[in-house]
Amino acid sequence: MKAQESIHKFAPLPYAYDALEPYIDKMTMEIHYDKHHRAYYNNFMAAIKGTELEKTPMLDIFANISAQPVGIRNNGGGFWNHEMFWNCMKSNGGGAPKGKLGDAITATFGSFDEFKKQFADAGAKRFGSGWVWLVVGKDGKLFISSTANQDNPLMNIAEKPGIPVFCLDVWEHAYYLKYQNKRGDYITAFWNVANWDYAQKLYEEALAKNK
Amino acid sequence: MDYTFPELPYAFNALEPHIDAMTMEIHYTKHHKTYFDKFVAAIKETELNGTPLEEIFAQVSKLPMPVRNHGGGLYNHTLFWESMSPNGGGVPTGKLADAITAQYGSFEDFKTKFNDAAANRFGSGWAWLSVKADKSLCVCSSANQDNPLMDISDCKATPILGLDVWEHAYYLKFQNRRPEYITAFWNVVNWAVVQARYESAIK
């Protein structure tokens, strides 16, 4: 019998390693994608090998993650979070979100600058390794949260669950080669490569799902 | 008692080529110093200002998170610097060597267990060799800046050897290759200090 093929694929990086220079350096992108992200994917695939999870969508796995071994939570999260993160950035990114997401951010946080401040704060205050998220809650409202390690707001263990529409990796490996201990500088640089079109798309999908 | 930021017991480049000078400099002057500064600020807001760290850790679950995070960061790094030396490496001798062999079968088996604890700590944290209340040894790991002296620890004990496995401890030189950093660490372990801690812990 032919081994069943998993639905989970390691996606290509949507741009070149040097595309986000000078904000995110080429070496960091290469190691981050080709070593860290790939290792999460490989470890995740090894952990689910021969189980029905090979055919289970990630969102369904996360919705029941507390029932799974911690290796699936850690590596599945690392696999999924990084793919989303790559898409949340692009060369010539930055600026401010437009459309419905721009309106919702202003309505929720008062202004885009105030949103940025709260998002950056959440990134600075995450102690140890983790992520910052802009999330749509069940009530359709936006909120900012941060998670430890490779957890995310889709997991049923999340303190503040919801559908993430934008994210930032604040593990030290995301910035240490260029910024070392200066996580704040990395977060400031990140705004220059933010892909708001992608966040806007995820936001509209999240609202449609919540209907 | 005032809290003091300890001196690094050797030059930044003393542990080359195993731990590089730039990592040591940033690790000590930026990371460790920031933990110290933030701990001093956080403990001032409590009634325990001036209390020794060990006593603070014993009741850390009742204290604000910054005390736990930055107090841990202060203590753990101090222990870590003292656990290394340019003339380090080799194997422990005396009572500690006997205890390691008795408990783990051999020094190599102990190293394997410690390496696994350090490699398998997901995210940021530490690997420890500690002495439990019954004087037996234990190898464990802790998240972030927690340590075995803290009342929240699931392996309560007195640490005698600690290895920092936060990415900042090794990323400039080893990047994603944490196991290579762990292998390099054994070349600089200051067993004389670890043995002295062991003998004091079993007294």
Candidates A26, A70, A72, A127: best to mutate against B (most CBs of B within 10 A) is A127
Q: For residues B72 and B145, is the Cβ–Cβ distance under 8 A?
A: yes
Coil/strand/helix, residue B78 = helix
Using a CB-CB cut-off of 8 Å, the residues of chain A touching B168 are 172, 176, 180-181
CA A42 to chain B, closest CA, distance in angstroms equals 15
User: Cβ contacts (< 8 Å) between B167 and chain A: which residues?
Assistant: 129, 171-173, 176
pTM given for the model: 0.96
Q: Which residues of B169-184 are buried (b: 16+ CB within 10 A; e: fewer)?
A: bbbbbbbbebeebbeb
The residue of chain A with its CA nearest to that of B66 is A127
B167, A173: Cβ pair inside 8 Å? yes
What is the C-alpha separation between B104 and B92, in angstroms, rounded?
Answer: 14
CA distance A35 to A171: 14
Cβ <8 Å between A181 and B26: yes
Residues 6+ apart with CB under 8 A from A49: none
Cβ separation A129–B123 shorter than 8 A: yes
Residue in A35, A70, A74 nearest the CB of B176: A35
Angle, vertex CA B108, rays to CA B19 and CA B172, nearest 5: 20
Mutate: best of B38, B124, B146, partner A, most A CBs <10 A: B124
How does residue B2 score in pLDDT terms, banded at 50, 70 and 90?
A: confident
Residue B109 has pLDDT above 60, yes or no: yes
The predicted pLDDT at position A25 comes to 98
Residue of A nearest to B69 (CA): A127
> B83: closest CA among B127, B40, B145, B42?
B127
Q: To the nearest whole angstrom, how far is the Cα of A118 from the nearest Cα of chain B?
A: 19
CB A209 within 8 A of CB A203: no
Taking residues B102-129, what's their average pLDDT?
Answer: 98
Give the distance from residue B121's alpha carbon to the nearest chain A alpha carbon, in angstroms: 11
The set of residues, in sequence order, having a beta carbon less than 8 Å from that of A147 and lying 6+ positions away, is A130, A131, A133, A153, A158
Chain B residues touching chain A at CB-CB below 8 Å: 26, 30-31, 34, 65, 69, 122-125, 143-145, 166-168, 171-172, 175-176
Q: Under a CB-based contact definition with an 8 Å cutoff, are residues A75 and A53 in contact? A: no
Inspect the interface and report whether the beta carbons of B176 and A36 lie closer than 8 Å.
yes
Backbone angles phi, psi at B122, to 5 degrees: -85, 130
**A11-45: per-residue pLDDT in tens?**
999 999 999 999 999 999 999 999 999 999 999 99
Residue A211, pLDDT above cutoff 80:
no
- For residues B63-75, give the mean pLDDT: 98
Q: B34 CA to chain A: closest CA distance, Å?
A: 10
Closest residue in chain A to residue B120, using alpha carbons only: A71
Categorize the per-residue pLDDT at A210 as very low, low, confident or very high, splitting at 50, 70 and 90. Answer: confident
Assign A2 a pLDDT band (cuts: 50, 70, 90).
very low
pLDDT surpassing 90 at residue B111: yes
CB B122 to CB A39 under 8 A?
no
What is the average pLDDT value for chain A, to the nearest integer?
A: 96
Q: Which is it for strands A163-169 and B137-143: parallel, antiparallel or unpaired?
A: unpaired
- Name residues whose C-beta falls within 8 Å of residue B141's C-beta, 6 or more positions apart in sequence: B117, B118, B120, B121, B125, B126, B127, B128, B165
Q: Which residue of A has its CA nearest to B122?
A: A149
Torsion of CA B4, B168, B68, B28, to 10 degrees: 0
ipTM of the complex: 0.95
- In tens, the pLDDT along A153-199 reads 999 999 999 999 999 999 999 999 999 999 999 999 999 999 999 99
A22 preceded by a cis bond (ω within 30 of 0): yes
Say if the Cβ atoms of A176 and B166 lie within 8 Å: no
